[in-house]
A and B are shown apart, each in its own frame.
Chain A
Amino acid sequence: GAGVSQSPSNKVTEKGKDVELRCDPISGHTALYWYRQSLGQGLEFLIYFQGNSAPDKSGLPSDRFSAERTGGSVSTLTIQRTQQEDSAVYLCATRGVNPEAFFGQGTRLTVV
């Protein structure tokens, strides 16, 4: 695709529900990152996939958070039993063989 695509763009969910956020990378990009940006804050690293290597999950804040990347392409970030503090914008970025990493527009998650 032309750019990194994230869906949905907005998600409102009730506390305790599970949510899935999707990231479609730029075609051919082997590296994929998830970040969280809370209101007025910087970017908090969550997880990093590189090709077929084991992902770097060191930024996941709790075991309620998980992510997978099927076939080295689309990635899904899952948050189980959502809490109000999970409300944030979730950003995905991808990178190919060149150094440039490109971001999607993000998913704004609101937990009510």
Chain B
Amino acid sequence: GEDVEQSLFLSVREGDSSVINCTYTDSSSTYLYWYKQEPGAGLQLLTYIFSNMDMKQDQRLTVLLNKKDKHLSLRIADTQTGDSAIYFCAESKGGKLIFGQGTELSVKP
């Protein structure tokens, strides 16, 4: 496909793990990113992964990359109400950063 694709909504209970999925378009993308956007705020870089890696872990965040399927996921362990936000994945394509539509994560107490 032409676009970076994400499911639009995810709802989890506080304390559960959240998994946000993304399908990107270009197998030659060098870096893939996850950003977080809270209401009324700008985009905050959470993490990124180099395309020759399969996994990257940073505290509660785990990024998995399946280059063959062009699939990226972000796992948030022990999800908290403060994690409620929109999460965007992005691929670096010819220097440009191309974003998905964002996944709205809702964390219920």
Chain A interfacial positions (CB closer than 8 Å to B): 31, 33, 35, 41-43, 45, 48, 50, 56, 91, 93, 99-106
Q: B101 and A41: CB pair below 8 A?
A: yes
Chain A positions within 8 Å of B24 at CB level? none
Which residues of B (78-109) have their CB < 8 Å from a CB of A?
A: 88, 92, 94-102
Question: A43-B88, A99-B31 are contacts. A33–B97 as well, Cβ < 8 Å?
Answer: yes
Size category, B interface: 20 to 34
Bound-complex Cα distance A11 to B109 (A)? 37
Closest residue on chain B to residue A31 by CB atoms = B95
Q: Does B10 contact A (CB under 8 A)?
A: no
Closest residue on chain A to residue B4 by CB atoms = A42
Q: A93 and B97: CB pair below 8 A?
A: yes
Q: A100 and B97: CB pair below 8 A?
A: no
Q: B102 and A101: CB pair below 8 A?
A: no
Bound-complex Cα distance A100 to B58 (A)? 15
Question: A43-B88, A104-B42, A106-B42 are contacts. A99–B97 as well, Cβ < 8 Å?
Answer: no
7 CB < 8 A contacts A-B: A31-B95, A41-B101, A91-B43, A99-B48, A99-B50, A103-B35, A104-B42
Closest residue on chain A to residue B43 by CB atoms = A103
Q: B42 and A91: CB pair below 8 A?
A: yes
Per-residue interface assignment for chain B, residues 30 to 57, with 1 indicating a CB less than 8 Å from any chain A CB and 0 otherwise: 1101010000011111001010000000
Bound-complex Cα distance A112 to B61 (A)? 42
Bound-complex Cα distance A48 to B42 (A)? 18
Q: B48 and A48: CB pair below 8 A?
A: no
Q: B33 and A42: CB pair below 8 A?
A: no
Complex partner residue of B100 from A42, A56, A101, CB under 8 angstroms: A42
Give the distance to chain B from A27, nearest Cβ to Cβ, in Å: 18
Give the distance to chain B from A9, nearest Cβ to Cβ, in Å: 11
Bound-complex Cα distance A56 to B43 (A)? 22
Q: A103 and B48: CB pair below 8 A?
A: no
